[in-house]
Structures are given as C-alpha cells and as structure tokens.
C-alpha cells in the first residue's frame, strides 16, 4: 500500500461504510476501525443483531470513506474505498480481534463481533500535495 495512504489510515480512527439493504437500497453506518496496511484489511466491531450485520451477511460488497479525525477545511484529505467483507472463517479474519483490540482496547468490554474488510481499491485525496492530488491504490490479485 502507498506510504501516504498507510500513514493517513494509521492516523485516523472512524470510517463510514455503505452496504445494500435487503431491498437493494443504500444503507450507511459509522464505526471505529483498525487497519492492516500490509494485507489491505480494515477491521471494525459491530453487534451481530445490527441492521448492517444482517445486510452484510446477505451482500458483503461495501464502499466507504474515511475523513481525518480533526478536520482542517484548508487541507482537504480523505479516503474513498471499496471492498468486500470477509467471512469470519476466512484465513485473513483469524487475527482480526487481536489487531482491533490493539487499537481499541476499551472495546473488549463492548459486545459484538470483529469484522474484516478486504480493501480492493482506495482513492486518497490530499490537497497538501497539490490541489486535487489523488493517489490510487488497487489490490493486485495473482
């Protein structure tokens, strides 16, 4: 993953994620996340009985955004990403809890499951690198 994208993801904590509901309509939710930039994985915690959990079990395709935790209107930065929620039994999901609780130890006390998103594409906007500067990262599948 690009160094600037990695740095941005590590520095921030909250994502907005969109999925499709049972009628094919967009449904959004926000969550705290942890990141594994090396593998291109994003982890979040959610209650198993939440609306979005139900929707993600039916259709795991997602899109999302991440803005800086502290907005600076003169320095536009942000990420748009696309991916897929991996099944809990997926090999890449096995260390999701460890990674998430490293970033958010207080979350151990909260009920819910740790979900894994395999990020397949990121568009990073950073106007501090030049107006309208975009960096694109895409997963390469062998």
pLDDT in tens, 41-61: 999 999 999 999 999 999 999
Under a CB-based contact definition with an 8 Å cutoff, are residues 50 and 118 in contact? no
pLDDT in tens, 14-33: 999 999 999 999 999 999 99
> What is the reported pLDDT for 142?
60
Calculate mean pLDDT across residues 76-83.
96
Q: What are phi and psi for residue 127, nearest 5 degrees?
A: -70, -10
Q: What is the CATH number of the domain that holds 51?
A: 2.30.110.10
Band (pLDDT 50/70/90 cuts) for residue 82 is: very high
Residue 100 domain boundaries: 3-138
Domain total of the chain: 1
The CA–CA distances, whole Å, from 47 to 40, 44, 83, 119, 125 equal: 23, 10, 20, 21, 31
């Amino acid at each position: 993953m690009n160094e600037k994208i990695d740095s941005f993801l590590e520095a921030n904590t909250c994502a907005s994620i969109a999925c499709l509901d049972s009628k094919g309509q967009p449904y959004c939710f926000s969550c705290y996340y942890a990141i594994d930039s090396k593998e291109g994985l994003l982890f979040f915690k959610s209650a198993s009985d939440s609306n979005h959990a139900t929707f993600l079990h039916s259709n795991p395709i997602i899109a999302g955004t991440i803005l800086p935790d502290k907005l600076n209107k003169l320095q536009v930065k942000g990420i748009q990403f696309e991916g897929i929620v991996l099944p809990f039994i997926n090999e890449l999901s096995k260390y999701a809890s460890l990674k998430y609780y490293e970033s958010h130890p207080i979350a151990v006390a909260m009920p819910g499951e740790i979900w894994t998103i395999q990020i397949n594409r990121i568009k990073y906007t950073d106007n501090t690198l030049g107006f309208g500067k975009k960096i694109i990262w895409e997963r390469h599948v062998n």
